Amino acid sequence: MFALVGRSVESLRQVARGLGTVLMHAARNPITKDFPDSMPHLAGHFRGRLALAVNPQSGDHLCISCLQCERVCPDKCIEITSHKSPETNKPELINFKIDHGLCMFCGLCTEVCPTSCIINTNDFEMADYSREALVYDLRKLTLTQDESAFYFNKKELPMPKPKPAKPAAKPAAAAAAKPAPDKPAATPEAAAQAKPEAKPADTAEAAKPAVAPDVDKTKELPKAGSDSAETKPEDKDSAKPAENKGEQ
C-alpha cells in the first residue's frame, strides 16, 4: 500500500516534470524557418538543381563533351548531344539535357566532371506543372557568368583557366571574346529566360550579408575543408586538361 502510494507520488512528480519541461519550451525560439520569406542558409556542397557553369572570367562554356557525367549517371537522366568539330577535331557541345524528374541528386556527375562544369546549385524550388517541364535543356541549364562566379566561390572550386586560343581560330575567337565580354553564345538568352537560375544566386547573395557574417564563416569553415578534400581529384583533373590545352 505504501509502496503504491510512493510509486504514484513519484509518477505524478515525473509527469509534473515533463509538463514543466514542455512548458519551458514555449520560451524557446521556434526552430522553424520561414521558408518563402527567408531563404535557408545552404552550404556550398548542398546538392540542388544541376546546372552547367561557364568560365567566370571569360564566359566560355566549360563543358568539353567528355560524356563522363552521362556515363556515370545511375539514373541515365543526362543526355548529351555533341559532334566532332571539323576544325579542332574535338567534341563540340550541341545540346545538354537533364531530366530532373529522373535525377536523384546523387552528385556523381559533379564529382566526375573534369572541368567542374556540371555543378549542383543551391536552388531547390523546381516545382512545375508537368514532367516535361522538368527536362532542362542547354539554355536552361547554363548559368550566367555571375552565377558561375558565385558558385565557384561558394564551392571553393579552383577558377578554370581561360580557354587557350586555338592556333587556327585564334584571331577570330580572341577578337570576338575580348571586346564583348557578354557575347558568349548562351549567356544573354540564358539570363533572359533562366528566371529560376537568377533566383538562387540573387537571394543567396542578398541573404548572405543579412546573416551575421561571423556565423557564416564558422559554418563554412569545417565544410570548406571537407569540400576541398572531396574536390581534390577533381582539381587535378580540371587542372590537367587545361595544362594540356596550354601545351597544345
Partner 1 sequence: MTTATVTVTAPGRLPTTDGNIWEIWKFIRISAIWLSIIFGAVWLASYAVGGLIPSLLDKYMATSVAAQNIASILRLLTPLVAVLVFIPINATYMVLAERRGLALFTVRNGPNRVGPDGFLQTGADAIKLLFKENINPTGADILMFTLAPIVFFAPSVFGALPLLPAVTSENGLFNVLSFPTGIFYVLAMSSIPVVGIVMGGWASNNKYSLVGGLRSAAQAISYEIPLVLAIITVCIMVGTLNVSDIAWMQNPWELSQLKGADALARWDGLHVDSQAVQDLRSIGVQNLGNLAFFNWNIFGGDTVSGFLALCIAKKVAGGAMIFKGICALLLILCQWLLCGLYMTGACAEINRIPFDLPEAESELVSGYNTEYSGIRFAIFFLAEFTNLFIVATIAVVMWFGGGSAPIPSSMYAPVMDALGFIASNVNKLLFMIGVPETAPILDPKVMSGTFWAVSKVYFLVYFAILVRGTLPRFRIDQLMDFGWKRLIPLALILLLAVTYLKELI
Interface residue list for partner 1 (CB under 8 A)? 8, 15, 18-19, 21-23, 25-32, 34, 37-38, 215
Nearest-approach distance from CB 217 to partner 1, in angstroms = 15
Nearest-approach distance from CB 223 to partner 1, in angstroms = 19
- Long-range pairs of 104-108 with CB within 8 A, sequence gap ≥ 24: 104/74, 104/75, 105/47, 105/48, 105/50, 106/47, 106/74, 107/47, 108/69, 108/72, 108/73, 108/74
The Cα–Cα gap between 147 and 166 comes to 27
Q: 32 or 89: whose CB is closer to partner 1?
A: 32
Nearest-approach distance from CB 197 to partner 1, in angstroms = 24
Q: Which three cell numbers stand for residue 96?
A: 545538354
The H-assigned helical ranges of 38-144 are 68-72, 108-112, 138-141
3-state secondary structure of 216: helix
Q: 94 or 211: whose CB is closer to partner 1?
A: 211
Residues 183/61, Cβ–Cβ less than 8 Å: no
Nearest-approach distance from CB 122 to partner 1, in angstroms = 20
Q: 27 or 221: whose CB is closer to partner 1?
A: 27
Q: 30 or 209: whose CB is closer to partner 1?
A: 30
Q: 23 or 127: whose CB is closer to partner 1?
A: 23
Nearest-approach distance from CB 89 to partner 1, in angstroms = 56
| DSSP 8-state assignment for residue 230 | H
Residues 121/50, Cβ–Cβ less than 8 Å: yes
Q: 31 or 221: whose CB is closer to partner 1?
A: 31
Nearest-approach distance from CB 18 to partner 1, in angstroms = 5
